[in-house]
């Protein structure tokens, strides 16, 4: 019977976070080749919680309850299947069950973070493509299901499922990092982890995907894993701090970018009072700590740019010339036309629209990434509108629409066209 | 107050495709609902049922697996509700979060045979 006198609650996203934690620890004990069985054990554990807690209420210590059940299920599953090949040679011949239980007790508190860190490094294996690294990390460490991933990154469920299956089989084949006692030699991998977390955050942050909660969850997971990396990472800690600062500066502005109906609000029209000051302060702390002479990564530059936006009391009072200077530095690292576009937008406010417009025209002579083409046309439309060439602006916006933007971007562009037409009449 | 049995009949396999986050959300909804029942004095008890079961029929000496015959649907659990009438009890049942994921509820008054 439920105990009405004692009402406990579950921490937000406990299941999702615990899923990654339990998977990581169990993989380390039983081996990555049993990833599928381990994921089944973790899933069954949550299923059992679902069945029981609904009726009985939430136990006092939900985490301990989940751990205990997962432990029993893992021991039973591996005993049943005869899969008791633990890594240490000492495992053979002794009492397996006791050994597994002892390892689990020991592992969980002391090694949960370490195991997650190792699994994160494995998910970011350079042999797996960037998008698949993001999906794999979300699935295994973040406890995101196939439907959730598909919804968050706008892919078909079947495609996500196939990609995950492929990545998981490559993952199983590279099982060794979990066993070594030190993580030396994996410094280079941290760079890939940064990229994966950066992409994960951006996937969640894109306004193109509407205002679904799942998008914010993606951002929060990227933040959680970045913090894990900061505590456990073996190198490039200052870059991790800068990356975290960048994420938090952006997260602080998450809610102000979208209307209640899910349409995009441009930076110039956002209500700055909605920006989360506590997050901005945290971001500043990470940014301060990340600063070291002779170490300036793209994350540092992007975090400083984000901080300047957060520091500006209004759109008009933004320090556009510094932002333009920082984008110029960033161009030297990223070589991306999108960075150049961002620099031109900043310069359009600091130096004048006309100059930026001409440079944009030149930039658009180059081949541009197909998925981003509409952004360049939209910027061109904005420049032309500000140059009072309204009918030309409308043409540019129409071209942007023809590059198949997302529904919310299309709405935004149609609004811009409507505004232009109003000013003509 | 009369006592009512509320049976939850649902697709038992549906839960296997839920993500951890969805399961957590589902639990939270149920716990809130039960809390409300308790606060209003409508809750007497309840338990989930194991998905494994046997069906026993007379005459043919037949025992078959599964609490369900033709579909994946089965009774996943039961509650005892306290209400003044069948109408009130069914109104309470309408708030059960299981309905959101396709469950069918059956509410029946328990006939007290004692004393």
Say which CATH number the domain at B88 has.
3.30.70.1060
Looking at residue A99, its pLDDT comes to: 64
Give the one of B27, B34, B35 whose C-beta lies nearest to A49's C-beta.
B27
Interval A407-413 mean pLDDT = 86
Q: pTM for the whole thing?
A: 0.83
Identify whether B97 is part of a domain. yes
CB atoms within 10 A of CB A82: 7
Q: In DSSP terms, which residues pair with B5 in a beta bridge? A: B80, B108
CB contact under 8 A, B77 and A10: no
Whether residue A211 is predicted with pLDDT greater than 60 in this model: the reply is no
Identify whether A4 is part of a domain. yes
Q: Is the interface score ipTM higher than 0.90? A: no
Whether residue A94 is predicted with pLDDT greater than 60 in this model: the reply is no
Whether residue A164 is predicted with pLDDT greater than 70 in this model: the reply is yes
Interval A146-162 mean pLDDT = 87
| Shared domain check, A61 and A16 | yes
- The more confidently predicted of residues A71 and A347 is A347
Task: Pull the structure tokens for residue A419.
Answer: 């505004």
Interval A105-127 mean pLDDT = 81
Domain boundary among A83, A111, A139: A111
Task: Pull the structure tokens for residue B114.
Answer: 């004692």
| Shared domain check, A87 and A161 | no
Identify whether A402 is part of a domain. no
Whether residue A95 is predicted with pLDDT greater than 70 in this model: the reply is no
The verdict on A157 touching B (C-beta cutoff 8 Å) is: no
**Total domain count, chain A:** 2
Whether residue A91 is predicted with pLDDT greater than 50 in this model: the reply is no
Interval A82-87 mean pLDDT = 52
- The more confidently predicted of residues A65 and A30 is A65
Whether residue A2 is predicted with pLDDT greater than 50 in this model: the reply is no
**Total domain count, chain B:** 1
Residue of B nearest to A1 (CA): B45
Q: Is B112 exposed, middle or buried (0-12, 13-18, 19+ CB in 10 A)?
A: exposed
Looking at residue A5, its pLDDT comes to: 41
Identify whether A64 is part of a domain. yes
Whether residue A96 is predicted with pLDDT greater than 80 in this model: the reply is no
Largest CA distance in chain A: 88
Whether residue A350 is predicted with pLDDT greater than 80 in this model: the reply is yes
Looking at residue B14, its pLDDT comes to: 81
Q: CB neighbours of A1 closer than 8 A, spacing ≥ 6?
A: A56, B45, B46
Domain coverage including residue A20 = 1-111
Give the one of A2, A19, A58 whose C-beta lies nearest to B20's C-beta.
A19
**Rg of the Cα atoms in chain B:** 16
Mean predicted lDDT score pLDDT of chain A: 86
Q: Residues A191-201: pLDDT tens digits?
A: 899 999 999 99
Give the one of B19, B21, B27 whose C-beta lies nearest to A54's C-beta.
B27
Looking at residue B67, its pLDDT comes to: 60
Domain coverage including residue B40 = 2-109
Cα(A222)–Cα(A224) distance, rounded to whole angstroms? 5
Whether residue A72 is predicted with pLDDT greater than 70 in this model: the reply is yes
Identify whether A367 is part of a domain. no
> Which of these ranges, A169-173, A363-367, B25-29, has the smallest mean pLDDT?
A169-173
Identify whether A321 is part of a domain. no
Chain B residues 20-49 with CB within 8 Å of chain A: 20-24, 26-28, 30-31, 34-35, 38-39, 43, 45-48
Identify whether A356 is part of a domain. no
Give how far Cα A367 sits from Cα of A15, A359, A373, Å: 45, 15, 9
Q: Is the dihedral of CA A197, A203, A206, A207 positive or negative?
A: negative
CB contact under 8 A, A18 and B45: no
Looking at residue A301, its pLDDT comes to: 96
Identify whether B12 is part of a domain. yes
Identify whether B8 is part of a domain. yes
| Shared domain check, A129 and A107 | no
Cα(A148)–Cα(A130) distance, rounded to whole angstroms? 18
Per DSSP, B96 falls in state -
Whether residue B8 is predicted with pLDDT greater than 60 in this model: the reply is yes
Interval A375-402 mean pLDDT = 95
Nearest chain B Cα distance for residue A356, angstroms: 46
| Shared domain check, A141 and A106 | no
Looking at residue A102, its pLDDT comes to: 66
Q: Is the dihedral of CA B89, B95, B96, B101 positive or negative?
A: positive
Interval A169-181 mean pLDDT = 75
Q: Residues A224-242: pLDDT tens digits?
A: 999 999 998 778 899 999 9
Q: What percent of chain B shows pLDDT beyond 70?
A: 90
Interval A119-144 mean pLDDT = 91
Cα(A1)–Cα(B37) distance, rounded to whole angstroms? 13
| Shared domain check, A96 and A68 | yes
Interval A70-95 mean pLDDT = 64
| Shared domain check, A102 and A4 | yes
Interval B24-49 mean pLDDT = 94
Looking at residue B30, its pLDDT comes to: 94
Identify whether B115 is part of a domain. no
Q: Which helix (H) or strand (E) holds B93?
A: helix B86-93
Highest mean pLDDT among A59-73, A140-154, A270-284: A270-284
């Amino acid at each position: 019977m439920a105990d009405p006198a004692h009402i406990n609650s579950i921490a937000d996203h406990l299941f999702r976070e615990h899923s990654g934690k339990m998977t990581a620890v169990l993989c380390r004990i039983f081996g990555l080749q049993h990833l599928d069985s381990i994921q089944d054990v973790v899933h069954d554990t949550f299923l059992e919680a679902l069945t029981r807690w609904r009726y009985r209420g939430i136990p006092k210590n939900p985490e301990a309850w989940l751990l205990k059940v997962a432990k029993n299920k893992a021991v039973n599953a591996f005993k049943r299947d005869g899969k008791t090949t633990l890594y240490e040679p000492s495992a053979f011949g002794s009492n397996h069950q006791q050994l597994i239980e002892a390892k689990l007790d020991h592992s969980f508190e002391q090694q949960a973070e370490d195991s997650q860190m190792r699994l994160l490094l494995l998910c970011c294996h350079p042999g797996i493509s960037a998008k698949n690294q993001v999906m794999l990390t979300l699935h295994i460490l973040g406890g995101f299901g196939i439907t959730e991933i598909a919804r968050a990154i706008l892919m078909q469920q079947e495609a996500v499922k196939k990609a995950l299956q492929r990545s998981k089989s490559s993952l199983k084949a590279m099982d060794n990092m979990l066993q070594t006692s030190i993580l030396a030699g994996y410094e280079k991998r941290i760079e890939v982890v940064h990229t994966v977390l950066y992409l994960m955050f951006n996937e969640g942050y894109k306004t193109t995907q509407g205002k679904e909660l799942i998008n914010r969850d993606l951002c929060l997971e990227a933040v959680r894993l970045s913090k894990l990396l900061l505590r456990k990472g073996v190198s490039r800690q200052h870059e991790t701090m800068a990356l975290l600062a960048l994420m938090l500066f952006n997260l602080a502005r998450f809610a102000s970018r979208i209307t209640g109906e899910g349409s995009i609000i441009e930076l110039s029209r956002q209500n700055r009072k909605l920006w989360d000051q506590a997050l901005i302060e945290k971001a500043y702390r990470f940014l301060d700590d990340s600063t070291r002479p002779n170490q300036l990564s793209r994350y540092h530059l992007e975090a400083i740019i984000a901080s300047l936006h957060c520091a500006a009391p209004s759109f008009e009072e933004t320090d556009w010339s510094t932002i333009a200077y920082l984008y110029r530095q960033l161009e030297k690292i990223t070589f991306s036309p999108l960075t150049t576009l961002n620099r031109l937008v900043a310069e359009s406010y600091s130096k004048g629209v006309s100059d930026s417009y001409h440079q944009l025209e030149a930039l658009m002579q180059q081949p541009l990434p197909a998925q981003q083409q509409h952004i360049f046309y939209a910027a061109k439309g904005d420049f032309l509108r500000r140059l009072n060439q309204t009918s030309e602006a409308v043409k540019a916006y129409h071209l942007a629409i023809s590059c198949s933007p997302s529904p919310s971007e299309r709405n935004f562009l149609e609004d811009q066209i409507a505004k232009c037409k109003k000013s003509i009449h | 107050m009369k006592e009512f049995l509320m049976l939850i009949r649902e697709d038992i396999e549906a839960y296997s495709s839920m993500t951890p986050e969805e399961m957590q959300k589902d639990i939270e909804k149920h716990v809130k609902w039960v809390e409300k029942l308790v606060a209003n004095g409508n809750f007497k008890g309840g338990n989930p049922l194991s998905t494994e079961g046997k069906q026993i029929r007379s005459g043919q000496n037949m025992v078959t697996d599964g609490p369900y015959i033709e579909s994946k649907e089965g009774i996943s659990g039961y509650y005892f509700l306290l209400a003044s009438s069948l109408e009130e009890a069914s109104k309470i049942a309408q708030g059960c979060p299981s309905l959101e994921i396709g469950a069918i509820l059956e509410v029946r008054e328990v006939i007290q045979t004692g004393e």
